[in-house]
Chain A
Amino acid sequence: MSAGNGIAIDVKGLSKSFGGREVVHDLSMQVRRGSIYGFLGPNGSGKTTTIRILCGLLTPDSGEGTCLGYDILKDAEKIKRQVGYMTQRFSLYQDLSVRENLEFVARLYGLADAQGAARDMIKRLGLSGREEQLAGELSGGWKQRLALGACTLPNPQLLLLDEPTAGVDPKARRDFWNEIHALAAEGLTVLVSTHYMDEAERCHEIAYIAYGHLLAHGTVEEVIAKSALTTYTVTGEDLNGLTSELSGKPGVDMVAPFGTSLHVSGRDVAALEASIAPWRQRSGLHWQQSSPSLEDVFIELMGRSKDNFQ
């Protein structure tokens, strides 16, 4: 097929404003074919807008690039044929049955045997016996599966999934991710946005976007390494008191409770250690230097980007 260079998405300098507010700012990214690329960031950070630009639903104000080798500005129609887009909000027809929804998609993409394709997909999704149920009556997890099924029905080369597992129970989430990995193993490229850290860790590569800026990207290990964050894990008594005492001290960029422990992180190791020194000897507290979790890195990134924009 087109563009055998192993890159599915290659965009540079994408910007998009709505009503004078810049939602995506100078965003550049590359996604390898066959990889699962996680898109992370707080609400309103521009994830959905970026995904919509990639599949031709929005025109960027500036920037350029290719998606599956097609120009994102000129070849939107060709991109649409090869891309499956799963919207954040369930956007299949609620008053159509499972089978009718799938047949509609199959016909739109011109599948020779729309009914056969829908039947095969129902089997693959494990929805046999529910094919005549209205899509609006399915539970959240089944809706997501159906939506994924509808996206993959026309054999796309690229899947764009916008928070596909929001509000879905852990079991359905795990099944969903197994399916995504199976699809990637077959050569599909998957770009998936999410809020969940465990999902981010299941991606081959991740990108962190906040307030329209792409702040970090790479594999999970790379992103953690690049953050240059030093983290101490504190266990012991009166961690709540410690939280308020440490917050705002020089070098302490972040204090976050994790269950029975507290993560204290900072970019400037010397300043951090100087600030925490008085508490390190306090009895009843156990301090241990640890590697920051992905969540630490993201919360720190988020806090930093907020500073830049406020």
Chain B
Amino acid sequence: MSAVDRPAQGPAPVHAIRERFGFLRRSYAMLVKEFIQLKRDRVSFAMIVMLPVMQLMLFGYAINTTPHHLPSAVLLQEDSDLARSILKALENTAYFRFLYEVHDVDDFDNLLKSGKVLFGVEIPRGFERAVRRGDKPALLVAADATDPVAASAAMGSLGTIVQTALKHDLYIGDPPEMPFEIRAHARYNPAASSSLNIVPGLVGTILTMTMLIFTALSVTREVERGTMESLLSMPIKPVEVMFGKIVPYVLVGFLQAFLIIGIGVGLFGVPVLGNLFLLALLSTLFITTNLSIGYTISTVVQNQLQAMQMSMMFFLPSILLSGFMFPFAGMPAWAQYVGECLPLTHYLRIVRAIMLKGATMQNLRFDTLALVALMLVAMTIAVTRFRRTLD
């Protein structure tokens, strides 16, 4: 370096330039800058914490396939002890709340049709006698199909509830078999999913959304604010810009994952059966993969609006085709191929397997490798797409 003396302006010592570890130092310069900017942007900073907490609270409680206090009606065509104990047992479960007790079929139908109740139980005439005779009479259950998930879960639990109630009334010991038949009138057959399945899924979904958007905006923001011109005129390489922009958000993502899993365990009682360290490690990998994809988006688009739109374009299939919303195995083959290209698909398998099944690295090799591959592909595209000039 040519040392230029500056006698005219007084103290302006020439600072030496170090050539070693240039890659690390320049990435570090970028990283420090990004951290400061993130710290200054108080709204974004608050969102880092608020977003996962609010979403988890909303979705965790809202997407609940276990119904509570379903408005229900009963059509009583006989007033027997057995009928009364069945109703009592149903009400005790807190699944059902019997709002109406009718004796006429038309009234019963109207209640369901008007939506005043979502659920109806019909106890036919001569029910008790038929049970005692061992005739296996039918207990008619009608569910409103417009709220399928709630009704189906309630219906599934019906048999057990009724059977338990009958134990005390009819028999001394366990009844040898169901003394009557439950005839369910529902027009579909929804997939059974439990709330345990949803919280781990939400970890992946929330991380996908937040991580994608953070980095999708990072390069376009520099372009729109005009700072890119100055950045490009300085000796920094595309890969250094990328690392500098991704690393701060890995920490942010890690904080979010910690929050979501913490709330999942603390509030929703989701177990973590597997190794917590493995979960953290693979979550970090998933976070980095999403950040790379967001960064890639950022190098392709022209402005922040496009960046948001493209993020959404990636986010929607992630939700719909990853197995978060619909069972992966139920999708047609082409949709499964698309799903395999989405990091969320693999992370859902990983996070569900570790939390709920106690899976080890051995079980998750394929999905881990898939995440690594997706990350490398995204990073390669980003580094090659990053424009070194303003051409």
Contact = CB atoms under 8 A, between A and B. Distances in A.
B12 interface: yes
A91 B227 contact: yes
B236 A52 contact: no
B2 A1 contact: yes
Given A58-B391, A124-B9, A186-B5, A108 B236 contact: yes
A94 B389 CA distance: 22
What bracket does the count of chain B residues touching chain A fall in?
35 or more
Chain B CB within 10 A, most for which of A77, A81, A95: A95
B230 interface: yes
Nearest to B28: A107
A87 B8 contact: no
Contact of B32 (A1, A87, A104, A111): A104
Given A59-B391, A87-B226, A100 B33 contact: yes
B17 A109 contact: yes
Contacts of B186: none
Given A93-B37, A95-B40, A107-B29, A155 B4 contact: yes
A108 B236 CA distance: 7
Interface in B219-262: 225-236
Contacts of B37: 93, 95-96
17 contacts: A55-B233, A57-B390, A83-B233, A87-B233, A89-B226, A91-B230, A107-B29, A110-B26, A111-B17, A112-B15, A112-B18, A117-B15, A120-B13, A123-B11, A124-B10, A124-B11, A155-B4
Contacts of B7: 186
B9 A109 contact: no
B14 interface: yes
Nearest to B5: A186
Interface of A: 1, 52, 55-59, 76-77, 80-81, 83, 85, 87, 89-96, 100, 103-114, 116-117, 120-121, 123-124, 134, 154-155, 157, 179, 182, 185-188
A95 B229 CA distance: 17
Given A124-B11, A155-B4, A108 B17 contact: no
B36 interface: yes
Interface of B: 1-19, 22, 25-26, 28-30, 32-33, 36-37, 40-41, 225-236, 388-391
B106 to A, nearest CB: 69
Given A80-B233, A91-B227, A108-B26, A157 B2 contact: yes
Q: Which of B33, B40, B230 has its CB near the most chain A CB atoms (within 10 A)?
A: B230
A186 B26 contact: no
B25 A110 contact: yes
Contacts of A1: 2
A83 B235 CA distance: 10
Contact of A186 (B4, B11, B30, B225): B4
Contacts of A96: 33, 36-37, 40
A57 B232 contact: yes
A80 B4 contact: no
B383 to A, nearest CB: 15
A76 B233 CA distance: 9
Contacts of A117: 15
Contacts of B29: 104, 107-108, 114
Given A83-B233, A96-B37, A186-B5, 9 more contacts: A58-B390, A76-B388, A81-B235, A91-B227, A93-B227, A107-B25, A108-B235, A111-B16, A124-B10
A123 B5 CA distance: 17
Contacts of B13: 116, 120
Given A57-B390, A155-B4, A106 B15 contact: yes
A105 B25 contact: no
Given A58-B390, A58-B391, A107-B32, A116 B15 contact: yes
B389 A56 contact: yes
B389 A59 contact: yes
Contact of B41 (A58, A95, A111): A95
A52 B387 CA distance: 14
B235 A112 contact: no
Contacts of B19: 110
Most buried by B among A81, A107, A121, A157: A107
B6 A109 contact: no
Contacts of B18: 110-112
A85 B233 CA distance: 7
Nearest to B39: A95
B4 A187 contact: yes
Contacts of B4: 155, 186-188
A226 to B, nearest CB: 33
A182 B8 CA distance: 7
Nearest to B19: A110
